[in-house]
Chains A and B, each alone.
Chain A
Amino acid sequence: MNFKNTKAYRFLYNVFHLYSDGFRNMTIGKTLWAVILIKLFIIFVILKLFFFPNFLHEQALKGQKSEYVSKQIIERSK
């Protein structure tokens, strides 16, 4: 059976065209996507990589996170 004649193909074809036509014909949407991409770059590349390391990952040895947290939790009561 030719896949192009199946309902699944037509469905996927329609979904693809929904998105491709939609993106092609955007007006204000193009500006918004530009803002979103710049924002995501700042958040995930600049902020996450340089300013927001995983603190426990850096401070505690592998498999020792609960030990590290317990020391923090217990000592801070003193």
Chain B
Amino acid sequence: MYNLLLDITNATIDWSRAQFALTAIYHWLFVPLTLGLAVVMGVAETCFYRTKKVFWKDVARFWQKLFGINFAMGIATGIILEFEFGTNWSNYSWMVGDVFGAPLAIEGILAFFMEATFVAVMFFGWEKVSQGFHLAATWLTGLGATLSAWWILVANAWMQYPVGQEFNPDTMRFEMTSFLDVALSPFAVDKFFHTVTSSWIVGAIFTVGVSSWYLLKHREQKLAKASIKISGIVGLVASVLAAITGDNSAYMVSSVQPMKLAAMEALYNGGKSQPLTIVAAVNPFEQPDYVNEQHAPLRIAVPNGLSIFATRSLNGYVPGVNNLINGYTHPDGSTVPSFAEKIASGKKAIVALQKYREATAGLKNGAALPAEAKAQLSTLKDNIKNFGYGYIKDVNDLVPHVPLTFYAFRAMVGLGMLFILFFLVVLFFVYKRDILQYRWLHWAGLCILPFGWIASEAGWIVAEMGRQPWTIQDMLPVGVAVSNVPSGSIALTFFIFLFLFTSLLIVEINILTKQIKKGPEYAEVTY
């Protein structure tokens, strides 16, 4: 029976990936707005708590209502990802179960108990609990959502940088050796702060966008102006923090996932003192000929910029795609093996795993290992860091899709820079001028609305497409992680999801726009 199941087609891999990407991208439409609006409504309610002006309470309640709609629409959209793990990614699911169990369980408990409790107090508790307790509930709702995001990001970061684990050939699982190494890995910490701050940007842009629409309609002007003041500050602080954490992220990627950095920069041939590419004419429709091209055509670059970002040194060495394929020597004399060498090492690990399991088959628990098993275990351990390379048939399969990674990275960074400028302009006009008079700015606020999501999703495309072909970096390629499910059945559920998600999105946008058109419910009608 097993032999029949071993014929994995590329269609199965691609449909499984497409379905996961669709679900994750859809889920990620809701999450950043939840995290971002949590800050805006928290600040508005804090203003109410401090000033006791009912106006601020109305502002807070209005944004809480939009938060609630988004929160309700996002509920359980992430659960589908876990279904996909069990069905489409069963090998992966089995192998990482021990590492992911704890973070995902904590996330579930936090999401359910903390968010469910405080969301109820926030929505139902006005006039029923003290103002201080209500304020705490509002902030704790946001904190609960943020902390549950932490554990999901820990799981994702572990796949990019699998620390705190050891592979057990008896159970066929990566087993956690240090919870702290997993939970507080530098990759996870940076990913958390970068993701959360970029989500605050989405919330701030949404708030400015909705407020700008009111200003264009000459409605709710006091609420709109107050909301822009809050979201302008939140957005500017978040944009600057996202830039700082993004810079740190690139620095870590350079050491842990150098191929991802090379793809982000379309850097074919690296070396010392590498320039930072601003734009280049990378063909968006096909993989570049990196073997024969010196660098991407029509490149405009900042001298030494990439070396500074990647190594914190003006003359630092940054490997390109070809260096990584062929192996290279660092300026300090240390060498990095070629992909061919890593593939050979990975194959040794797989053969050792097979022989180890043959040698230990039928062995009772606690029985001493035969000499053959010990020898194979030693070989496996020596080569385990290259385990995943053993499945690679062609070194070019280890190069991610350069155009997509290159352009998604530029979309994310370019929009991030635009947001800093935008929030600076907004803050100038809302604090130093009469913002009601500047219709072009209202239009700009409205038009920029979708770009918060575009930047956020582009960031995930860089993170996930840039690390292909790996499910777990260097350990497990997607073709091995996937289940042997017929591609037709995955394609069917893909289109079911597409229909379901599109319908839900239309419902959400409909409910949201109705509430926005209806506007806030004022306790006082004097403004």
A interface residues (Cβ-Cβ under 8 A, vs B): 14, 17-19, 21-23, 28-29, 31-33, 35-36, 39-40, 42-43, 47-48, 51-56, 59, 65-66, 68-77
Q: Is the CB of B353 within 8 A of A74?
A: yes
Task: Knowing A18-B120, A32-B72, A47-B80, say if A55 contacts B173 (CB, 8 Å).
Answer: no
In the complex, the answer to whether A77 meets B91 with C-beta atoms within 8 Å is: no
Interface residue B500 (Cβ < 8 Å from any Cβ of A): yes
Shortest CB–CB separation between residue B63 and chain A, in angstroms?
14
**How distant is the Cα of A33 from the Cα of B120 in the complex, in angstroms?**
13
A53 to B483, CA, bound (A): 12
Expressed in whole angstroms, the minimum distance between the Cβ of B170 and any Cβ of chain A is 7
Question: Which bucket holds chain B's interface residue count?
Answer: 35 or more
Query: Which residue on A lies nearest to B390, using beta carbons?
Result: A77
Q: How far is the CB of A35 from chain B (nearest CB, A)?
A: 6
- Please determine whether B76 and A77 come into contact, CB atoms closer than 8 angstroms: no
> Which residues of the other chain, B, contact A65 by a CB distance below 8 angstroms?
94
Contact pattern, B 284-305, Cβ under 8 Å of A = 1, otherwise 0: 0000000000000000000000
Interface pick from B123-131, B328-336, B404-412, B437-445: B123-131
Contact A22 B124 (CB under 8 A): yes
Stretch in contact with the other chain, from B82-90, B158-166, B308-316: B82-90
User: Which residue of the partner chain B has the closest CB to A15?
Assistant: B120
How many Å lie between the Cα of A33 and that of B76 in the bound state? Answer: 13
Report how far A43 CA is from B347 CA in the complex, Å: 41
**B8 lies within 8 A of chain A by Cβ:** yes
Distance to closest chain B CB from A38 (angstroms): 9
Most chain A CB within a 10 A radius of its CB, from B79, B90, B507:
B90
Q: Which residues of A sit under 8 angstroms from B385, Cβ to Cβ?
A: none
CA distance A68 to B357 in the complex (A): 12
With a CB–CB cut-off of 8 A, which chain B residues contact A69?
A: 90-91, 94-95, 172
Residue of A nearest to B95 (CB): A69
B504 touches A39 (CB 8 A): yes
Contact of B123 among A29, A39, A66, A72 (CB under 8 A): A29
Residues of B within 8 A of A42 (CB): 500
Binding site for A on B (CB under 8 A): 2-3, 5-6, 8, 65, 68-69, 72-73, 75-76, 79-80, 83-84, 86-88, 90-91, 93-95, 120-121, 123-125, 128-129, 170-173, 347, 350, 353-354, 357, 390-391, 479-480, 483-485, 489, 492-493, 496, 500, 504, 507, 511, 515
Chain A residues positioned under 8 Å from B504 (CB to CB): 35, 39
Given A52-B86, A56-B94, A66-B170, A76 and B69 contact (CB-CB distance below 8 Å): no
> Looking at the complex, which one of B65, B94, B124 makes contact with A66 (CB distance below 8 Å)?
B94
Q: Which of the listed residues A22, A72, A74 has the most CB atoms from chain B within 10 Å of its own CB?
A: A72
Complex partner residue of B511 from A31, A39, A54, CB under 8 angstroms? A31
Judge whether B511 and A28 touch: CB under 8 Å.
yes
Q: Please, which residue of chain B has its CB at the minimum distance from the CB of A46?
A: B496
Closest Cβ of chain B to A23, distance in Å, is: 8
For B480, the chain A residues whose CB sits under 8 A away are 72-73, 76-77
The reply to whether B353 and A51 form a contact with Cβ atoms under 8 Å apart is no
Instruction: Verify B390–A39 contact, CB threshold 8 A.
Output: no
B172 touches A52 (CB 8 A): no
Residues of B within 8 A of A74 (CB): 350, 353-354, 357
The reply to whether A28 and B69 form a contact with Cβ atoms under 8 Å apart is yes
Q: Distance in Å from the Cβ of B235 to the closest Cβ of chain A?
A: 26
In the assembled complex, 30 residue pairs joining A and B whose CB atoms fall closer than 8 Å, in A order, are A17-B128, A28-B68, A29-B68, A29-B123, A35-B72, A43-B80, A47-B83, A51-B489, A51-B496, A52-B86, A55-B86, A56-B86, A56-B93, A59-B90, A66-B94, A66-B170, A69-B94, A69-B172, A70-B353, A71-B2, A72-B6, A73-B172, A73-B353, A73-B480, A74-B350, A74-B353, A75-B2, A75-B3, A76-B8, A76-B391
